[in-house]
Amino acid sequence: MFSKACEYGIKATIYIAANSIDGKRISLKGIAKHIDSPEAFTAKILQILARERVVNSVRGINGGFEIDKHRIQDIVLADIVNAIDGDAIYKNCGLGLKECSEARPCPVHDKFKIVRNNLKSLLETTNVKSLAMEVDSGLAFLKL
């Protein structure tokens, strides 16, 4: 469904958010360990998310990643997915036609569009704060 990069990006962001809620900044190493992802690859993904202003990065000793407390509730999954995988998952034809359109639909267009829109609204309405709080309270998990 999502690329590995995107999966790591989502998990990392949730973990950063969970820490930011507690006022803690967290290092790449800590993130990779906690979400069980390859460190260097995760660094690349966090670079993207930092450039796209989904997370803040701070260099130097005691540096790491964080999210402004008052912004956490405004970040939705779609922000992360868009930054990493782009909008293909919303826009592309399920059968790979060059364009997904009503005018020249593929055979699964009508049905596929519904699933795709469900996914889209899931991503656009799910904010990172609620997910981070689930993790914080031990109701949801980021690895294994």
Q: Which does 87 bind (CB under 5 to 8 A by kind): its own copies, ligand FES, DNA, none?
A: none
Residue of 105, 124, 133, 135 interacting with ligand FES (CB under 6 A): 105
Does 39 participate in binding its own copies (rule CB under 8 A)? no
Does 44 participate in binding its own copies (rule CB under 8 A)? no
The distance of closest approach from Cβ of residue 83 to its own copies in the complex, given in angstroms and rounded to an integer, is 16
Contacting residues for 39 by C-beta, under 8 A, at least 6 apart = 28, 29, 32
Q: Which does 50 bind (CB under 5 to 8 A by kind): its own copies, DNA, ligand FES, none?
A: DNA
Does 134 participate in binding its own copies (rule CB under 8 A)? yes
User: What is the signed CA dihedral for 46, 49, 53, 57, rounded to 10 degrees?
Assistant: 0
Does 5 participate in binding its own copies (rule CB under 8 A)? no
Does 104 participate in binding its own copies (rule CB under 8 A)? yes
Residue of 14, 43, 55, 76 interacting with its own copies (CB under 8 A): 14
Q: Which residues contribute to the site for ligand FES (CB under 6 A)?
A: 93-95, 97, 100, 105-106, 109, 112
